[in-house]
Amino acid sequence: MKALVTGGAGFIGSHIVEGLVGRGWRVVVVDNLSSGERENIPPGAEFRQLDITTNQLIPLLKREKSDVVFHLAAHTSVTNSMRNPVSDAQANIIGGLNLIQGCMECGTRKVIYASSGGAVYGESLSIPVDEGHSINPYSAYGISKYTVESYLRMFSAQGELGHTVLRLPNVYGPRQKPTGEAGVVAIFAYKMLRREQPVIFGDGTKTRDYVYVSDIVQGALAAAERGDGAVYNLGTGRETSDREVFDAVALAAGFKEPPVYEEVRPGEIYRTALDASRAREGLGWEATVTFEEGVARTVEYLKNRL
């Protein structure tokens, strides 16, 4: 079997590439390296440096003729999407549609799309959130992610392209960049190990659902063979507050200082956790790594890197 992974030099994408190679797949990575790192790509995978918004993508897809495409390439900053929604739409919507068109033209069997479990639902009416929850994005990023879901659903209904949508929680683990706004576990760990002061945006009670990256890989690999035409949350169903994240990382990193608080950033929701019941039934998936163990692994990885 042959797979193509967009964003395969990035944090989550490179772990999925590693999982596919380990299962004997032939894997092609497409990444423009705007945020990914070439060193993240494991041995055994082929690399094509390319931006998915360009007219070079469709000819590449036709040459490679992959059975399954894992689509992870995206702009992921909620804050930047609010500052520049046009740029966000260009990368996420136009790039996604360009990929979909190419997959249909070259006979790809299936696209597995990494969407956002927090951004597309908006503020949760009930927790944990299931896939039947209303769609109410609070950010341009959430709108762009759901728009590509809608395109996939439309073309799938016409019988032109198989797909599975994975709505992801806050994913964390090795290779996540400890800079920018995303990846709070890595950001906190990096600063604490350097004895710098992390910042909590808000009062510390804002919650997210955290899943370790190896569990996300298992969900993506299961979707390669199952779950056609379906949408799945991948989550624990458990809310973890910003203060709980701070305390867990501080314990693993040996950091003794209290947190500093600043204003909440535009576009961020207050609470979320994802109900993964459908994924357990349809994909045979559930998260297995506890938050404490995942944080310890992440801190150890960064400690070795530093």
* Domains and their CATH numbers in the chain: 2-170+211-237+278-282 (3.40.50.720), 172-207+238-272+289-305 (3.90.25.10)
- From the number of C-beta atoms within 10 Å of its C-beta (0-12, 13-18, 19+), residue 273 rates as buried
| Burial profile 16-34: b = 16 or more Cβ within 10 angstroms, e = fewer | bbbbbbeeebbbbbbbbee
Following CA atoms 173, 179, 183, 185 in sequence, which dihedral angle do they give, to the nearest 10 degrees?
70
Residue 268: the pLDDT is 86
Contact 201, 262 (CB under 8 A): yes
Residue 181: the pLDDT is 67
DSSP one-letter code for 158: T
* pLDDT tens across the length of the chain (306 residues): 999 999 999 999 999 999 999 999 999 999 999 999 999 999 999 999 999 999 999 999 999 999 999 999 999 888 899 999 999 999 999 999 999 999 999 999 999 999 999 899 999 889 999 999 999 999 999 999 999 999 999 999 998 899 999 999 999 999 999 876 679 999 999 999 999 999 999 999 999 999 999 999 999 999 999 999 999 999 999 999 999 999 999 999 999 999 999 998 888 889 999 999 999 999 999 999 999 999 999 999 999 988
| Burial profile 45-57: b = 16 or more Cβ within 10 angstroms, e = fewer | bebbebbbbeeeb
Residue 180: the pLDDT is 67
Alpha-carbon radius of gyration of the chain: 18
Instruction: Say how far apart CA 237 and CA 271 lie, in whole Å.
Output: 12
Residue 25: the pLDDT is 98
Residues designated as active site: 141
Nearest alpha-carbon partner for 173 in 209, 210, 198 = 210
